[in-house]
Amino acid sequence: MIKLGLLGAKGRMGNAVIKALADVDDMTIAALADTEDRPDIVFSLADVVIDFTSPGSTVHHSELAETHQTALVVGTTGLDDRSHAALDRAGRSVAVVQAGNFSLGVNVMAALVQEAAAKLSGYDIEILEMHHRHKVDAPSGTAELLGEAAAEGRGVTLTDVARRSRDGVIGARGASEIGFATLRGGSVIGEHSVIFAGMSERMTLSHKAENRGLFAEGALVAARFAATALAGRYDMRGVLGLRGD
Ligand code: NAD
């Protein structure tokens, strides 16, 4: 039986994880916490901790994973460079899975985006996302993940080519740009499109999440993987065997 720790237990995703656990028989909640609680206790009691909280806490949670030698699954989005560096550090001694999206469909889409970006080399790439009115970060972790896949397909670094906003007289589009556009409203769980725009045709890959349970089930797949994986930094494409390497 895998002992799970859950951080962000009172949130939308925390609730979805608790619900999804009812359908699995190889995992049990050993400890859970929300903002006001002590995460160190969660790390000390669990084999794997699932984190759906806020990006400001990722560095601390990575350090606790290292201290307690507890595997870590991070679904929190909006991570900055410091957070990624802390996750890399933790990944040297424990298994760390971090993904902006845990769904099978989005991770298959990322593999397709990478291939399309490589094959449609002269086409402009634009990424459009829409989420519910409560989402606090933009662009979404999934949009970032799809942008990374497109950049990988082009053999470039996303931070060098990402165009995250456009406003006013901004001049013509740069040929190598990967553009992001963000919509917010209502109860939308998550919709993403990656548009490949050529001069005579346009190809769009798109995904719509219809149920938050999808991400929770994926997080449990990641936790099951992390419970037995060697120390390292993994993403969901790696967990699902979609990297082809
Ligand atoms: P939410 O606001 O409903 O829940 C977050 C919860 O975390 C809240 O209850 C809050 O009190 C708690 N929290 C904040 N900081 C904490 C801390 N330091 N320690 C413990 N608890 C803390 O948000 P949500 O919709 O559940 O989303 C949570 C995160 O997961 C967001 O970053 C969101 O973008 C991301 N998300 C990822 C995926 C994915 O597949 N990777 C899917 C959906 C959402």
Whether pLDDT at 136 is above 80? yes
99 lines ligand 1 (CB under 6 A): yes
Report how far apart the first and last C-alpha atoms of the chain are (Å, whole number). Answer: 30
* Residues pairing with 178 in the sheet: 125, 162
The total of other beta-carbon atoms located within 10 Å of residue 119's CB is: 10
8 lines ligand 1 (CB under 6 A): yes
Residue 57 to residues 77, 79, 157: CA-CA distances in angstroms?
11, 10, 26
pLDDT at 193: 98
Whether pLDDT at 244 is above 80? no
Distance CA 43, CA 69 (A): 8
DSSP state of 240: T
Percent of all residues in the chain with a pLDDT value above 90, rounded to a whole number = 98
Catalytic status, residue 135: yes
**Token pair listed for 48:** 């794997």
Buried-state track 77-114, b at ≥16 Cβ within 10 A, e below 16: bbbeeebeebbebbbeebbbbbbbbbbeebbebbbebb
Q: Whose CA is closest to 117, among 84, 161, 81?
A: 161
pLDDT at 36: 79
When pLDDT is averaged across residues 15-44 and rounded to a whole number, the result is 95
Q: Mean pLDDT over all residues of the chain?
A: 96
Residue tagged active-site, from 61, 68, 131, 192: 131
Model confidence pLDDT, tens digit, residues 78-127: 999 999 999 999 999 999 999 999 999 999 999 999 999 999 999 999 99
Model confidence pLDDT, tens digit, residues 181-225: 999 999 999 999 999 999 999 999 999 999 999 999 999 999 999
Distance CA 30, CA 2 (A): 9
Task: Write down the pTM of the prediction.
Answer: 0.92
Task: Fill in the amino acid letter for 217.
Answer: E
Whether 49 and 32 have beta carbons less than 8 Å apart is answered as no
Model confidence pLDDT, tens digit, residues 55-68: 999 999 999 999 99
| Cis previous bond, 139, omega within 30 | yes
Whether 104 and 218 have beta carbons less than 8 Å apart is answered as yes
> What's the pLDDT band for 245 if we cut at 50, 70, 90?
low
Whether pLDDT at 156 is above 70? yes
Catalytic status, residue 10: no
